[in-house]
Amino acid sequence: MSEKRPVKIQVRGLSKVFGNQPKKALELRDQGQKRPEILEQTGQTLGLSNIDFDVYEGELLVIMGLSGSGKSTLIRCLNRLIDTTEGDIIIDGENIPTLSTKELLECRRRHFSMVFQNFALFPHRTVQQNTEYGLEIRGVDKAERTETARNSLKQVGLDGWEDAMPSQLSGGMQQRVGLARALANDSSVLLMDEAFSALDPLIRKDMQQELLELQHRMKKTTVFITHDLDEALNIGDRIILLKDGEIVQIGTPEEILTSPADEYVERFIEGVDMSRILTARHAMRPVRATAREDDGPRTALRKMSENGLDSIYVTSRDRKLIGLIDADSADKAVKEGQQSIDSLIHQDFRSVSPDEPLHNLFAMFSDKGFPIAVVDEERRLLGVVVKGAVLAELAEAGDN
Amino acid sequence: MATEIPRIELGDWIESGLNYLTSNYSGVTRGISAVTQTGINGLNDLLMWIPEWGLMAMIALLCWRVAGIRLGIGAVLGLALIWNLDLWDPMIETLTLVVIATLVAVVVAIPVGIAAALSERLYRVIMPILDFMQTMPAFVYLIPAIPFFGIGSVSAIFATVIFSMPPAIRFTTLGIRQVPTDLIEAADAFGSTTTQKLFKVQLPLSLPTVMAGINQTIMLALSMVVIAAMIGADGLGNEVWRAIQRLRPGDGFEAGIAVVILAMLLDRLTQSFRKTRKS
């Protein structure tokens, strides 16, 4: 991403040592020692080492890593549920590691709400009371917080469940309450710690979709932790890959897939079903030739034969897609002496947006073998996809 | 003995310590004594003032509402037997001592338990003290109680409070420490103060465990007030004590059965309080 985006949280040189001699561990780290050696020599665990990254305003940033990579530690350092050893975490000009207890409380209330892996709902409180919790401790008056909580419950599709106890709800619903509780707080950053990992796969997909929609609607800055690459690729605007407490790669899902930073990332993405990640944009070829709506059948036929095509897309002057002509009907029209191609244009083809996943395209190829048109929101023709290109793209991705 | 190791005069030291306390703080002990005695008399008079059948009906009703009809019927039968055996007044005296001792113990124990749960250092100081309090033979507490508070019910309360307090402290500490860490994290993440976290999350969630501790405290208090008859406490224990001195096993068993009935009622009642709060 080349564009400059407003930064919400700035993390610089963040390190965390678990143990009572952090200085010693960091010294060894600076001498180039890695986590296992440091543990062996000092008994200190280097949880995070020299982490630098930005969280942009309004983005959904995914921090991904296997267990032990330090991702849970990292997210807890952001709101200081875990104290950092060194480094800065700056949110709106405040450096979180240096805040006093009182300032930290205020900062947590204003900036952070959190969703937990095992939901962490208060079992003695109703759904409504759980949702109100953040507002209640801030001293928001009863009427207002009831209203706000009801709204957030509605947003996650739980209206009517206000008086239920958490234990009466399914896992998916409990996590919706967790999400509603976080949303009701209206903090500026949403922290999600493996929020969907405890849910079964189908519910999980639904929740990811809903989170995407919510995030799209509310533009809430979100930091999402997961160990699941599919999930990261599905929801992340950007992904940070973490290994042994260090950042391996930061990038968009595409960047990570197409140019993995090292072997570790490569091994990680091996298991990903590429046809779900790659989109029509990747397989699309530029259009070699198009017919104009005022071309005659003869011109159209010539353009086809010059480019070795069986069919040709017809576009208006501003490149908007009008329809398709195939060679057989153009040939017939020439023989019959027709002057216009209007009657030859048909709509017997599929058009998709460039973001359509490749795996959806397979079913779209018609028997006649017309290429699929890729169009933007204004139906301008961006390119075409032929069956061979999809397979080639997948094969290539598989090789990498 | 070949080597002359002087005997450590532990007993003397403790005694002189106690003497020091009794002679220098007699004002304090007399004050405590007066307040406690007033409390005992007040509650005792109140319970005695209610006619037997009235109190029986009230206790039975309470048992029924809280624990179900079976305990309600059990309460009527048990209390009727005590009344019939002419042990009603001693039973009331014992009940009074148990109630007051438990109240004092719980009022002290819960804040101490909370403090020990929140501070690791305090926890390490308090736990051995509790071990000491619980393993020391109960009778021993009766001895220093007398110079402090004289013979009678106040001394009984003093010894009973010390003897019965540990489980309430332990269970409170345990209950708070058992609150799952992710709930503590959730409370912290939303910016709760320590007090908010305690009252909105930790205490409500530890309530069943705290109630179990209170139940234990009541049971220990009951056993102690019976023993405290040795230093002049009134009640069922006194009946047992008299039966021993006169070698009348029949009388002893009658009073003993009354204690058992009272214990069962108190135990079932507090246990169901715990359960109803849980659901």
Residue B158: CATH number of its domain: 1.10.3720.10
Q: C-alpha distances in angstroms, A223 versus A49, A112, A115, A241, B189?
A: 19, 10, 10, 13, 14
Q: Which residues contact A16 (CB under 8 A, 6 or more apart)?
A: A46, A47, A48, A70, A73, A77, A82, A84, A85, A245
In a domain, residue B98? The reply is yes
Q: Which residues contact B146 (CB under 8 A, 6 or more apart)?
A: B155, B231
SS3 at position A90: strand
**Least CB–CB distance from B192: residue in A76, A113, A137:** A137
- Distance between CA atoms of A286 and A396, rounded to whole angstroms? 19
Stated length of chain B: 279
For residue A1, name the pLDDT band (cuts at 50, 70, 90).
very low
In a domain, residue B76? The reply is no
A238-259: average pLDDT = 88
Residues in chain B closer than 8 A to A185 (CB atoms):
190
Residue B277 touches partner A, C-beta closer than 8 Å = no
In a domain, residue B60? The reply is no
pLDDT digits (tens, 9 = 90+) for A272-286: 666 667 788 877 888
Q: Which residues of chain B have pLDDT under 50?
A: 278-279
Residue A228 tokens read as 């699941």
pLDDT digits (tens, 9 = 90+) for A251-265: 988 888 777 788 777
Q: What is the mean pLDDT of chain A?
A: 86
Count of the separate structural domains present in chain B: 1
SS3 at position A54: strand
Long-range contacts (CB closer than 8 Å, 24 or more residues apart) made by B119-128: B123/B173, B126/B169, B126/B173
DSSP letter string over A1-38? Answer: --S---EEEEEEEEEEEESS-HHHHHHHHHTT--HHHH
Q: C-alpha distances in angstroms, A1 versus A5, A64, A238, A242, A255?
A: 9, 19, 10, 20, 10
pLDDT digits (tens, 9 = 90+) for A190-200: 999 999 988 88
Region class of A291: left (phi > 0), else alpha (psi between -120 and 50), else beta: beta
For residue A295, name the pLDDT band (cuts at 50, 70, 90).
confident
Q: Per the CB < 8 Å rule, is B191 touching A136?
A: no
Torsion of CA A26, A31, A37, A38, to 10 degrees: -10
Q: Which residues contact A297 (CB under 8 A, 6 or more apart)?
A: A330, A333, A334, A338, A339, A340, A341, A344
What pLDDT score does A397 carry? Answer: 63
What pLDDT score does A394 carry? Answer: 67
In a domain, residue B230? The reply is yes
pTM of the predicted model as reported, rounded to 2 decimal places: 0.73
Residues in chain B closer than 8 A to A106 (CB atoms):
191
Q: Which residues contact B222 (CB under 8 A, 6 or more apart)?
A: B94, B98, B259, B262, B263, B266
- Distance between CA atoms of B263 and B265, rounded to whole angstroms? 5
SS3 at position A251: strand
Compute the nearest-CA separation of B59 from chain A (Å).
29
Domain A281-399 - what CATH class? Answer: alpha beta
What are the residue ranges spanned by the domains of chain A?
281-399
Compute the nearest-CA separation of A113 from chain B (Å).
6
In a domain, residue B207? The reply is yes
**Least CB–CB distance from A133: residue in B190, B193, B204:** B190
Q: Is the pLDDT of residue A368 over 70?
A: no
ipTM exceeds 0.90:
no
Q: Write out A113-138 in H/E/C secondary structure.
A: EEECCCCCCCCCCCHHHHHHHHHHHC
Chain A interface disruption, residue of B190, B194, B198, B277, most A CBs within 10 A? B190
Closest CA to B167 of B100, B114, B220: B220
* Max CA separation in chain B (angstroms): 72
Q: Is the pLDDT of residue A297 over 90?
A: no
Long-range contacts (CB closer than 8 Å, 24 or more residues apart) made by B126-134: B126/B169, B126/B173, B130/B166, B130/B169, B130/B170, B133/B162, B133/B163, B133/B165, B133/B166, B134/B166
What pLDDT score does A348 carry? Answer: 81
Q: Per the CB < 8 Å rule, is A137 touching B183?
A: no
- Distance between CA atoms of A368 and B50, rounded to whole angstroms? 99
Q: Is the pLDDT of residue A267 over 80?
A: no
Residue B45 touches partner A, C-beta closer than 8 Å = no
Residue range(s) defining the domain that contains residue B113: 11-49+85-278
* Residue A259 phi, psi dihedral angles, 5° rounding: -135, 75
A residues 69-108 near B, CB within 8 Å?
A: 76, 79, 81, 105-108
Closest CA to A276 of A230, A225, A326: A230
Burial label, B171 (beta-carbon count in 10 A; 0-12, 13-18, 19+): buried
Residue A366 tokens read as 């018609």
- Distance between CA atoms of B141 and B158, rounded to whole angstroms? 8
What pLDDT score does A271 carry? Answer: 65
Q: Is the pLDDT of residue A91 over 50?
A: yes
> Are the C-beta atoms of residues B46 and B93 closer than 8 Å to each other?
no
